[in-house]
Each structure stands twice: as C-alpha cells, then as structure tokens.
Structure 1
C-alpha cells in the first residue's frame, strides 16, 4: 500500500512592477515574508532552499529591471545578479524620499495611535510598536530613527530619537505621564533602549488596565443599589404631590355651599364642619 504524499501550498514569489519607493517598500516586505515561508517549507520537507526559492532577478519585471541595471549599475541586464538588485532595493527603501526630511513630529502625531478600543494590553502595545515600525519603513526613516546595527555609527542617537517619539505618542495621558516620570528619575536606560521601553510601557499599561476594571466593577453595584432608592423617593414625591394638585384643581361650586352659602365645597365649609 503506497503512502500518500503530503500536499504543500504553492508559495508564489512577489512581483516587482515599479521602481518607485512605495512599491519597493511593499515588495521588500513581501519578499522577506516569502523567504520565511520557503525556509519553513524546506525545514519540513528537507528540500534544498536554493533549489526551491525564486530568484530576485526573476521576480522583477524585465521593463523595470532594465532601467536601474543600465543607468544605476551601469551594466547589461544579463550581467546583473540578485545581490546587486537587492542592494539597490534596500538602499531606496532605507533612504528619504527625494532626500527630503519630513516633519517627523507631525507625521507620527497624525499616524501613530494607541488603539484604546483594544482592551487586551499586550495586543494594544504590540500594535503600537508595529505601527511605529511600519511608519518608519513606509517613509524611509531608517537612517534617522531606525534600529539597525548597534555597533554602527549614530546608533545611540537614532535610538534616543526613536524612544522619544514612542513616549510622546503614548495614550492615555495618564500612562504617558507615568512613563515620562519613570524614565526621567528611575528607568533612564529606556531613553535609548526601545526594547526596555516596550517592557516598561507594557508593565504599566497592564497595571492601569487592572485598576480601571476594578474601579468599574466597584461603581456598577453601587449604582444598581441606588436606583431603587431613588425610584422610591421619586414615587413618594409624586404621591404627595398628587392630592395637592387635585386640591388646587377644584373650583368652587357656582351656587356656593349648600350650608354656609359660601364660595366653597360642603366638605370645606366651616359651618358644616363645626356642626
């Protein structure tokens, strides 16, 4: 009896169809994901990575490849290899568009948000840092606030700017103030270490979330206990107010009281009452 062969998903390499920076950034991100999938497949099947993975050159549209090969690398297309193409892609992705430095403070203030609708603190902080990384990559800001090689030049300055932006855009304001105080007086390493900053934000976000939940749980039972009492008070007031309203609404009889002949009802007549 033959053993059935496993069926594997076809993993398609992304196609690079344009040399503009936005397209290169998207393609580079998808290419890294593609390589990860191929490596995982090879670790399971025992296939050779080099024998399965697509080439970079084959993943770029011929019309797109011709221009950088001819005018940037100064080579014929057939003489260009994968490493040279990837180097040019990475260079474009990690450089400022048109060599122009945008207003980084405004850019992150508009784009970087901590989603307070997410009640899972871990997920909320993860999304916050993921959004930060994506904004950096999408705008070619790696040279200014990217991570990179810790031993490379300017690393500490980049990390300082990186951490400052991450702290500046924390929400809610109470969490931001707490993190700022801790960094200023106690956790100074978080000024230049985004990994330590991540742990600090997550720790105190959890604490504040627990406090918030406990506060809500204490308030709700109190409100429920007060509602019947308030309703009872309102009912009593309405009951007391009803006779008064009815009394004010009674007009004297046209012919006067039958006994005292006054402008009042018989039950209000002083003569009849005295008798």
Structure 2
C-alpha cells in the first residue's frame, strides 16, 4: 500500500510537470506570469478558462492513457459549448486553491466544495452539483483491537482525527466537540490529499481520518480493511467555487448547468462516477 501511495504521488508530480509545460532549452531564467481577477467578459475575450481542481479519482485523475474525472469532464463540456480553451491545474492544497482564485491565477475552483455560510463570505457558489457528507475513516473491527473501533460520535472523545489542512470539515468537528461536550483532537495534514489519508489509515500510520463520503466510496475498494460507515456531518451541498469578483461567470455557469443537468449526457456522466 505504501508503494501504491508513492506511485500515486509520483504520478501526480509527473502530471503537473506535463501540464505546466516545463521548458529547459530556454535557460534558467523563469518569468512568473502576472494574473488579475477576471469576470466572464475578460475570460471570453481571452478565449481561455483557467480552473483549479484537486487531483483525485472523482475530480481529476490520470488514467493509463487519458485524463478522467467528473469535474474535468463537466468543465470540458462547458468550455466546448462556450468556445473556450480549458486550462486545468491540479492543486492538493485547499488553502492554495482559495488563494489562487482570489489572486486571479484561476477563474474557478472546479472540485466539490462544501457550501457553508462561512465560505459564502469569500466565495460565490454555482448551483449544487451533488449531495454528500463527511465520514469517519477507520479500520474495520479486528480481533483484539476492538477498542480502536468507533461505534458512535460520543466515542470520538479524546481521539485524534486527521484532516486535510484547512478542510471545511473543521467547522463541523468544532460543532461536534460542543455537541458531545468533550475534547476531540484534530491534526491537519498539509502534505497529502484525502485519498492519501485513506491509505494512511489502512496502513495503520494513523487511526482516524475525516473524508468526503463520495470520494471515500470511490476509493475504499482499494482498501478492503477500511470502514466508512460512520457519519461526521449531515448531508450537505457541494458546488464549484467562484471569486466574488466574478458574478457574471457564476451566472453564466448557472444558466448552463440548469440546462445541462437535465440532459441524458449529464445523467450518463453522473452515473459513470457516482453509481
């Protein structure tokens, strides 16, 4: 399993190198491009839509000979219908995705982001693309190790939960601490994404993680010793995030989504990744 995680990270690095188009024949001088936040008019004039996503098997993933992912394919449909060239950057850090959006490096965050009141202060959201929730990732009951197994939320007291750094699930866990009136320890991981956290739990490097249920379901078949049956949050809306400076882009996406989500093409796409 450690080898699987290593290969996953190696593939991610190679993929990023390909996407950014590294050129070595021009010498060591690197000129950083300048970016400005854009709305749909500027995007249309440039002819290019810049999106950031997370590298995982649901959003954006490198297969044997192709790139796949629900968010990637949905983006491709939108860009194609609007006559736009699409640039997609995989970024594992939640904080860097937000920062890049605010700086204008990206036009939208095209990976499932939990719609919360606090995030609405800094982001505009598209129409919800799916419903999901946060779940506890732990190993299944093992003979002689049943004391590690969490059967209900009250048993989370004095346990350490691992999350991707700056995950929106942090807010839910803080609320849960109040609900159970006891301490839950939280450790944020900034080196890995949620799929790597599943691997770490499976390998016994950590005992508990919190992950989006849809992503956990898509990944758990690779880790038959994992249990993801315990909910941490209620079911919530997930959507794409757009900067406050781009209301026209949000409106354009919403009009398109209202139409496309009713088509057989979308139903086929959804079933491909979520059924």
TM-score (norm 2): 0.20
> Higher helix proportion, which one?
1
Question: Greater strand percent: which structure?
Answer: 2
Which structure is richer in relative contact order (CA contacts within 8 A, separation 6 or more)?
Answer: 2
TM-score (ref. length: structure 1) = 0.20
